[in-house]
Amino acid sequence: MKGFIVLFCVLPLVLSQQQQIFPWDTPGETPTPDVIDPCLTDQDSCSCCVMLKKKWELEQYLNTSLNSLEDSLARAQTTLRNIRENQVAFSVGLADKRRCVGPVKAAVTLTYQSIFINIGEAYDSTTGVFTVPRSGVYNLALTAFNDAGSPGAPLATCVSIRQNGVALAALREKYDQDQEDQATVVLLVELHVGDLITVSLQPGCWLCDDQHHYNTFSGFLLYAKE
């Protein structure tokens, strides 16, 4: 019975196509109107029309799903590209072996020569300058350590993080009761492309470091801004 129904649905389509290819009308006769596809006039009773409808609905669903997946992929690729472009981070130590800087008569920029990480190559170990490559909010951290050498000897540690020569934060310790001292400052600051970030050793102060890296300077881009 099912085979008969399918044949009934398909037969008009075949006859219609044959009529278009082979006109059976004799000269002078009025052309016979095209056979109407019963699937177009009585969809509920024709199983083939139901199958065609389901096929069309499936195609629509697949097309919509594919478009949604393509949009999601494009957004993911954009996010990944932004993450890669925004990777800015550095962390450096003052020295890899015993090294003292100061005391100095005038402020000098410290050159941290031991590089732990320098993603984006924005920190220059020869000048001690971190040049901001992308505008945004940055996390900056500075740790300063000094050893007077012996109990009762003068201890003078004073450094500052500077943006374009202007102090953002400072660490200061001048004392003669401690043989050694250490301090850390961490701050969030909005920086712009081309800003110069340095660590300045102040007059009358000094720092000493070795392979243990007591003196460090670090920074990374927290999030970028257009």
pLDDT at 21: 44
- Greater confidence (94 vs 9) lies with 94
Structure tokens at 165: 């020569």
pLDDT 10s digits, 166-181: 999 988 776 655 666 7
Tokens coding 35 = 């056979």
* 39 CB neighbour count, 10 Å cutoff: 20
**Residue 87: how many CB atoms within 10 A of its CB?**
13
Q: What is the mean pLDDT of the chain?
A: 78
Query: Given a cut of 50, is residue 121 above it in pLDDT?
Result: yes
- Confidence band for 155, pLDDT divided at 50, 70 and 90: low
Pick the more confident residue, 67 or 46: 67
Q: Which residues are registered as beta bridge partners of 198?
A: 162
Whole-number Å distance between alpha carbons of 87 and 221: 7
Q: Which residue has the tokens 């971190």?
A: 130
Q: d(Cα 89, Cα 224) in Å, to the nearest integer? A: 13
As a whole-number percent, the residues of the chain with pLDDT over 70 amount to 69
Mean pLDDT (whole number) for 96-109: 86
pLDDT number for residue 123: 96
Average pLDDT of span 121-133 = 95
Q: Give me the helices (H) in the chain, please.
A: 2-21, 38-41, 47-85
d(CA 209, CA 144): 9
What is the token pair recorded at 37? 């596809």
Could you tell me if 86 and 224 are in contact, meaning their C-beta atoms sit under 8 angstroms apart? yes
Q: What is the pLDDT of residue 57?
A: 82
pLDDT bin (cut points 50, 70, 90) of residue 22 is very low
Which one has a higher pLDDT value, 127 or 77? 127
Distances (CA, A) of 213 to 69, 92, 97: 49, 9, 9
In this model, does residue 26 exceed pLDDT 90?
no
Q: In the sheet where 216-224 sits, what is the strand order?
A: 114-119, 89-93, 216-224, 136-147, 180-191
**C-alpha distance from residue 34 to each of 16, 17, 31, 41, 49 (Å):** 6, 9, 9, 14, 19
**Which two structure tokens, joined as six digits, stand for 46?**
């024709």
pLDDT at site 10: 47
pLDDT computed for residue 157 by the predictor: 78
pLDDT digits (tens, 9 = 90+) for 176-210: 556 667 788 999 999 999 999 999 998 888 888 88
219 vs 84: which has the higher pLDDT: 219
Q: What is the pLDDT of residues 68-92, one digit of tens each?
A: 888 888 888 776 776 666 789 999 9
Best CA proximity match to 193, nearest among 169, 168, 164:
164
pTM passes above 0.75 = no
Distance CA 183, CA 142 (A): 8
